[in-house]
Amino acid sequence: MANGVESRLGPRTKYLLMQIPGWILVVVALWFFRRWVDFPVWAAVGVVLLWVIKDILLYPFLRPVFESGRKSGVDRLIGAEGIAADRLAPSGYVRVGNELWRAEVLEADEPIPEGSRVRIRAVRGLTLLIQPDT
């Protein structure tokens, strides 16, 4: 979808639009299966209904994926606090939660000692750009 159209659609609409190809595929597969093995129509309709119900029940778990404007991946770390896992002069490792990340000090006037609190200001690739947390 184009970015302009995608941003106007709500998460429910986006989710349903993504499910339509799967529903069509199930209907086509059941049509061929019905012709091949004489599958009863009521059973085919039941399978399609179960498939649609499955997608409806999964929506609450998948809704965050379809919400626009949310940060994802490493972008969520910007502004978070971490602890220097070793001396940062000007690069090293920082612990953020239970994860260890490669980090570089934005302004490397003096090294940041191990155990110091740092604040994540940006991300470059998979390297966190940090400053001492004051």
pLDDT tens digits for 46-56? 999 999 999 99
Using the 3D structure, point to which of 66, 83, 118 is the last residue of a domain.
66
pLDDT at residue 18 above 80? yes
16 with 54, same domain: the answer is: yes
- Report the domain count for the chain: 2
pLDDT at 34: 87
pLDDT at 70: 62
Using the 3D structure, point to which of 13, 42, 66 is the last residue of a domain.
66
pLDDT at residue 103 above 80? yes
55 with 30, same domain: the answer is: yes
Query: With contact defined as beta carbons under 8 Å apart, do 88 and 130 qualify?
Result: yes
Using the 3D structure, point to which of 12, 39, 66 is the last residue of a domain.
66
- Angle subtended by helix axes 11-37 and 41-66, to nearest 10: 160
Which pair of tokens denotes residue 11?
A: 């998460």
pLDDT at residue 1 above 50? no
- Choose between 1 and 21: higher pLDDT: 21
Question: What distance in Å separates the CA atoms of residue 25 and residue 23, rounded to the nearest whole number?
Answer: 5
Residue ranges making up the domain that contains 20: 3-66
Which pair of tokens denotes residue 125?
A: 């690739």
